Chains A and B, each alone.
Chain A
Amino acid sequence: MRPFRARLLLAGAAALLLAPVAGCATGDRVEPAALVTPAAASDTIVYGHQQEPPCVYGGWIEQAYLSGQILDNVVALDDDRRVVPWLAESWNVSPDGLTWTFTLRRGPTFSDGTPVDAAAVARNFDYWVDGGNATVKAWIGQYYDAARAVDDRTVAVRLTRPYPRFAENMTQPYFGIQSPRALDTRTAEQNCSAPVGSGPFVVERWNRGSDIALTRREDYDWAPADAEHTGPALVRRIDWQFITDPTARTAALRSGALDAMYDVQAFEWRNLAAEGFGLQRYVTGGRPQQISFNTERGPFTDQRVRQAFALSLDRRAAVEAVGKGVIPYDGNGPVSRSTPAYSEQAAARYGHDPAAAAALLDAAGWRPGPDGVRVKDGRPLEVVFPYAINRTINQDGAAIIQALQRQAESVGFRIRLVPYPPSAAAAGAYSGPGDYDLSIGYWTAANAGILHVNWRRDLPGSPNKANSAFYDDPALEDLILRANSEPDPARQAGLYRSAQRYIADRALSIGVYDRLSTLAVKPGLRGVRQEQSQGGPIFYDAHFA
């Protein structure tokens, strides 16, 4: 009797424990109702984002997405990639291309009550290049001379060299304007957790580890020219939640806990669409997920070995298998397909050709070794490939990299993958020429000016640690500098394309896939847009139907 009862209980416990296991082992997900119920009218948007930055404002894209809700820029980029007025109502460039004059609109105030005037904008320029924002500095550090307030509403920014796409770059949220009074009088902590801008929302409260509550400014009346409406934002609050785990984020959206979420997993794309969610995909401009070769040390100093590596990979197959048609393959290393002046020719430079790869390696003196790894002068063809897992590379990216590893090994490379945590990344690990043979990463941008950020030489007087190929070539730098300063758009695009071909011909870097910024939005929530310079969500026009 007793043993029987115990056994019954055990069976019950086991069933309880294994029920979910059995349920999922067959691979069937419990199908949600065919169509999700539309969001109920509410004055709060609950949005699930993937990473929690340490501060609202900074040089990291996750910060740009957040600070973009709180800070206004001088200019904005509309859906047709035209620079349109925001805090500035007009601007012009001097004939020598060296002085940009912005005329500010009347009326905007920061949320601390101070006016958005010319002095404030000029002060922000100095703040950025003095260390306030390293990303801004990477863009304008080589060009910026001084900014001064001509009068209350006129700012003159003086450059050292012509930079026709200066205003376009100023649309990136890193160029968000903060209240000088806040910068000067508040503590670092206050400016970190609740920067003071003139944007449609202000930080109400940051529950670290959970969410940031943003509330709208009732007196906001200076939206960018491409916005759908004027006046204050249409919803009262945004509950910006941080949910790192993509599975949990998706489940939260399905369960109705979220109204919108960021970063849809590739394999969920079609399911969510079928369930009735609105999906938005923005292919970020600038540099795609690009593998750059260490051209200073190791086997990849030899161009033939770099080319052999490129030819050994079936990048398209790897990306498409993991990306499920959502993540686009991009063969172009330096510039992504959504960037103006993208070179198709550079993108198509290397296909999948193992035989050609083998021939190049033979020619370079790397002979097949006993265990399948090629050898030269008694040294195996082993290369180190670190990547910042969960920071620049997500799980889909890690899967693609492992597929590439396998492909390269078939022609005789041995690849040591080193996924390193964000902590190591922060401490500057794996960033020097002695630390890797291959590196991978993206850099979002509005235009091909990214070439200058990534390929400018690293010189003692003006260091450039963003040159991840350690490629020191005055000819390439000169080509890019000429492109950056070329006022004629067609000729500028031609120069940018030549620079891409230059890089592709020498196999200094190869593209893998385009970085995406994706959103899934519940039906019933209208007007959520993606910002055009970096791809972050804009909630200013959003409202429940």
Chain B
Amino acid sequence: MTRTSPETAVPDAPVGDGPTARSGAAARRWAGRVGSAVIVVWGAATAAFLAQIAQPGDRATAVLNLRTGQVQERSPDELAPINAEYGFDRSAPGQYLDYLGGLLRGELGTSYQQHRPVWDVISEQIAPTLALSVTALVLAWVLMLAWVLLTAGRGRVAAGWGSAVDSFLASMPQYWLGVVLLLGFAYGLGLFPVVGGSGPVALVLPALTLALPLAGFLAQSTRTEFERVLEQPFVLSARLRGSGDLAVRLRHVLRHAAFAPLTLTGWALGATISGAVIVETVFTRRGIGRTLVSAVESQDLPIVTGIVVLTAVVYVVINLVLDALYPLIDPRVTP
């Protein structure tokens, strides 16, 4: 149930077919996967378009007010060029077709405020967000593994504390954690820069803010599996063969227990955009998240839409990659 896409695990693989039949089936499965990936992106793009249409107020007025910094009604004369520029004067289905056509050509539209292609805006901001997401993910895994290895299967007290800390971490609002870390370690102790920055030191607190709740969450699903595997006969036999405790935990238990959180990780990387929205705001960092918040605040919808579509694309690509990887990790999964 934690699989990232419903097509991932296909338990009823054809049995007894020849290699050609098998590869034909695999090709069909892959065609299906790619097909549903395309549908997901198309659906996300459509939802984003509908959000634009449903926007309260007149869009041309909003564009004009954004450009001038004024808040007021506008006359039809003022609005006409804007309507023509963005095609607001066309029918909704016409605008939708234009929009989809643009997406097919790889165009995400033009920002209302910055007069620039959305693609330029996004590509300018994506690198810091990627650095943050990947660092946070790695950190979350390291913290989670250390914590689970230390506490799982070591008696009731340790296990109780272990899972209590898991839920505590997983329940922490990121913005709160961020502010508290900032308050303690940047404002108070002065160990880290208080704003922006691009070096690795500047990445520590933001990454930690994303990583701690994520670690708690991953730990919750790993711990159950870890404790179950620890009871398995093959673990006992490994111990009997004289393997040390840490070796058993690392070599035998972890390999089995890590599968569940791994399936989540692919998804988590795509979804760290949620966290980035918060973390980049708290730490005054550049990135997609802060761009998104300010675009939502200023109703710069082409940017919002662009980020939505991009997120959907990242999501489906990661899942396709993971689908390809699962059979390598766990031979029971059919490619």
The answer to whether A41 has its CB under 8 Å from any CB of chain B is: no
Complex: A131 Cα to B294 Cα, angstroms: 25
Q: Do A20 and B181 touch across chains, with their CB atoms under 8 A apart?
A: yes
Q: Do B150 and A187 touch across chains, with their CB atoms under 8 A apart?
A: no
By CB atoms of chain A within 10 A, which of B73, B158, B180, B194 has the most?
A: B194
Complex partner residue of A252 from B65, B165, B188, B194, CB under 8 angstroms: B194
Q: Do B72 and A209 touch across chains, with their CB atoms under 8 A apart?
A: no
Q: Do A426 and B161 touch across chains, with their CB atoms under 8 A apart?
A: no
Complex: A251 Cα to B190 Cα, angstroms: 9
Instruction: Given A209-B287, A428-B57, decide whether A10 and B68 contact each other with a Cβ distance below 8 A.
Output: no
- Smallest distance from the beta carbon of B145 to chain A beta carbons, Å? 14
Among the 9-residue stretches A225-233, A238-246, A291-299, A363-371, the one with 4 or more Cβ atoms under 8 Å from chain B is A238-246
Q: Which residues of B contact A59 (CB under 8 A)?
A: 68-70
Complex partner residue of B61 from A2, A24, A428, CB under 8 angstroms: A428
Quick one: CB contact mask for B190-222 with A, threshold 8 Å, 1 for yes?
A: 100111100000000000000000000000000
Q: Which residues of A contact B297 (CB under 8 A)?
A: 421-423
Q: Do A208 and B114 touch across chains, with their CB atoms under 8 A apart?
A: yes
Q: Do B67 and A208 touch across chains, with their CB atoms under 8 A apart?
A: no
Instruction: Given A13-B165, A243-B284, A423-B297, decide whether A208 and B62 contact each other with a Cβ distance below 8 A.
Output: no
Among the 9-residue stretches A50-58, A119-127, A405-413, A506-514, the one with 4 or more Cβ atoms under 8 Å from chain B is A50-58
Instruction: Given A6-B161, A257-B194, decide whether A463 and B73 contact each other with a Cβ distance below 8 A.
Output: yes
Instruction: Given A54-B66, A58-B67, A248-B195, decide whether A431 and B73 contact each other with a Cβ distance below 8 A.
Output: yes
Complex: A251 Cα to B297 Cα, angstroms: 26
Q: Which residues of A contact B182 (CB under 8 A)?
A: 248
Complex: A7 Cα to B151 Cα, angstroms: 10
Complex: A13 Cα to B162 Cα, angstroms: 12
Q: Do B68 and A133 touch across chains, with their CB atoms under 8 A apart?
A: yes
- Smallest distance from the beta carbon of A245 to chain B beta carbons, Å? 6
The answer to whether A135 has its CB under 8 Å from any CB of chain B is: yes
Q: Do A428 and B113 touch across chains, with their CB atoms under 8 A apart?
A: no
The answer to whether B125 has its CB under 8 Å from any CB of chain A is: yes
- Smallest distance from the beta carbon of B259 to chain A beta carbons, Å? 25
Q: Do A463 and B75 touch across chains, with their CB atoms under 8 A apart?
A: yes
Q: Which residues of A contact B190 (CB under 8 A)?
A: 30, 255
Instruction: Given A241-B196, A251-B187, decide whether A6 and B157 contact each other with a Cβ distance below 8 A.
Output: yes
The answer to whether A188 has its CB under 8 Å from any CB of chain B is: yes
Q: Do A428 and B298 touch across chains, with their CB atoms under 8 A apart?
A: no
Complex: A77 Cα to B125 Cα, angstroms: 39
Complex: A58 Cα to B287 Cα, angstroms: 25
The answer to whether B11 has its CB under 8 Å from any CB of chain A is: no
Q: Do B69 and A429 touch across chains, with their CB atoms under 8 A apart?
A: no
Complex: A463 Cα to B286 Cα, angstroms: 40
Complex partner residue of A55 from B58, B114, B121, CB under 8 angstroms: B114
The answer to whether B299 has its CB under 8 Å from any CB of chain A is: yes
Instruction: Given A248-B284, A429-B57, decide whether A465 and B72 contact each other with a Cβ distance below 8 A.
Output: yes
Complex partner residue of A3 from B121, B157, B287, CB under 8 angstroms: B157
Q: Do B65 and A427 touch across chains, with their CB atoms under 8 A apart?
A: yes
- Smallest distance from the beta carbon of A185 to chain B beta carbons, Å? 15
Instruction: Given A3-B155, A30-B189, A426-B299, decide whether A431 and B62 contact each other with a Cβ distance below 8 A.
Output: no
Q: Do B195 and A21 touch across chains, with their CB atoms under 8 A apart?
A: no
The answer to whether A184 has its CB under 8 Å from any CB of chain B is: no
- Smallest distance from the beta carbon of A118 to chain B beta carbons, Å? 27
Residue of B nearest to A132 (CB): B68
Complex: A24 Cα to B158 Cα, angstroms: 31
List residues of B (47-64) whose CB comes within 8 Å of A's CBs: 55-58, 61-62
Complex: A37 Cα to B267 Cα, angstroms: 48
Q: Do A244 and B284 touch across chains, with their CB atoms under 8 A apart?
A: yes
Q: Which residues of B contact A24 (CB under 8 A)?
A: 183-184, 188
Q: Do A208 and B115 touch across chains, with their CB atoms under 8 A apart?
A: no
Q: Do A54 and B113 touch across chains, with their CB atoms under 8 A apart?
A: yes
The answer to whether A249 has its CB under 8 Å from any CB of chain B is: yes
Complex: A230 Cα to B75 Cα, angstroms: 45
Q: Do A423 and B115 touch across chains, with their CB atoms under 8 A apart?
A: no
* Interface range on chain B (Cβ under 8 Å from partner): 35 or more
List residues of A (458-514) whose CB comes within 8 Å of B's CBs: 463, 465-466
Q: Do A427 and B188 touch across chains, with their CB atoms under 8 A apart?
A: no
Q: Which residues of B contact A426 (CB under 8 A)?
A: 62, 65-66, 71, 298-299
Q: Which residues of B contact A55 (CB under 8 A)?
A: 67, 113-115
The answer to whether A425 has its CB under 8 Å from any CB of chain B is: yes
Complex: A60 Cα to B188 Cα, angstroms: 36
The answer to whether B318 has its CB under 8 Å from any CB of chain A is: no
- Smallest distance from the beta carbon of A473 to chain B beta carbons, Å? 20
Complex partner residue of A423 from B78, B282, B299, CB under 8 angstroms: B299
Quick one: CB contact mask for A28-49 with B, threshold 8 Å, 1 for yes?
A: 0110000000000000000010
Q: Do A20 and B56 touch across chains, with their CB atoms under 8 A apart?
A: no
Instruction: Given A3-B158, A187-B115, decide whether A255 and B193 contact each other with a Cβ distance below 8 A.
Output: yes
- Smallest distance from the beta carbon of B29 to chain A beta carbons, Å? 42
* Interface range on chain A (Cβ under 8 Å from partner): 35 or more
By CB atoms of chain B within 10 A, which of A24, A188, A428 has the most?
A: A428
Complex partner residue of B115 from A6, A189, A465, CB under 8 angstroms: A189
Q: Which residues of A contact B65 (CB under 8 A)?
A: 425-428
- Smallest distance from the beta carbon of B283 to chain A beta carbons, Å? 8
Complex: A187 Cα to B61 Cα, angstroms: 21
- Smallest distance from the beta carbon of A176 to chain B beta carbons, Å? 14
Q: Do A427 and B56 touch across chains, with their CB atoms under 8 A apart?
A: yes
Complex: A189 Cα to B119 Cα, angstroms: 14
Q: Which residues of A contact B66 (CB under 8 A)?
A: 54, 426
Instruction: Given A24-B188, A131-B78, A208-B124, decide whether A189 and B114 contact each other with a Cβ distance below 8 A.
Output: yes
Q: Which residues of A contact B189 (CB under 8 A)?
A: 30
The answer to whether B305 has its CB under 8 Å from any CB of chain A is: no
List residues of B (293-316) whose CB comes within 8 Å of A's CBs: 294, 296-299
The answer to whether B185 has its CB under 8 Å from any CB of chain A is: yes
- Smallest distance from the beta carbon of A300 to chain B beta carbons, Å? 21
The answer to whether A94 has its CB under 8 Å from any CB of chain B is: no
The answer to whether A210 has its CB under 8 Å from any CB of chain B is: yes
Complex: A337 Cα to B193 Cα, angstroms: 40
Q: Do A3 and B154 touch across chains, with their CB atoms under 8 A apart?
A: yes
Instruction: Given A2-B158, A422-B297, decide whether A210 and B286 contact each other with a Cβ distance below 8 A.
Output: yes
Q: Which residues of A contact B115 (CB under 8 A)?
A: 55, 187-189, 192
The answer to whether B291 has its CB under 8 Å from any CB of chain A is: yes
Q: Do B193 and A58 touch across chains, with their CB atoms under 8 A apart?
A: no
- Smallest distance from the beta carbon of A21 to chain B beta carbons, Å? 6
The answer to whether A134 has its CB under 8 Å from any CB of chain B is: yes
Q: Do B69 and A6 touch across chains, with their CB atoms under 8 A apart?
A: no
Q: Do B161 and A210 touch across chains, with their CB atoms under 8 A apart?
A: no
Q: Do B187 and A30 touch across chains, with their CB atoms under 8 A apart?
A: yes
Residue of B nearest to A19 (CB): B184
Residue of A nearest to B181 (CB): A20
Complex: A257 Cα to B187 Cα, angstroms: 12
By CB atoms of chain A within 10 A, which of B68, B113, B183, B287 has the most?
A: B68
The answer to whether A9 has its CB under 8 Å from any CB of chain B is: yes
Q: Which residues of B contact A249 (CB under 8 A)?
A: 195
Complex: A418 Cα to B87 Cα, angstroms: 33
The answer to whether A372 has its CB under 8 Å from any CB of chain B is: no
Complex partner residue of A54 from B55, B154, B188, B298, CB under 8 angstroms: B298
Residue of B nearest to A388 (CB): B71
Contacts A13-B165, A422-B298 supplied; 13 other A-B pairs, CB < 8 Å: A3-B157, A6-B158, A9-B150, A21-B184, A60-B68, A207-B124, A209-B286, A209-B290, A243-B284, A257-B195, A423-B297, A428-B58, A431-B73
> What 7 pairs between A and B have smallest CB-CB spacing?
A20-B184, A60-B69, A465-B72, A54-B113, A427-B57, A189-B115, A6-B158
14 A-B residue pairings within 8 Å (CB atoms): A10-B165, A21-B180, A24-B184, A48-B195, A58-B69, A63-B69, A134-B69, A134-B70, A208-B121, A209-B286, A255-B194, A425-B65, A427-B62, A428-B73
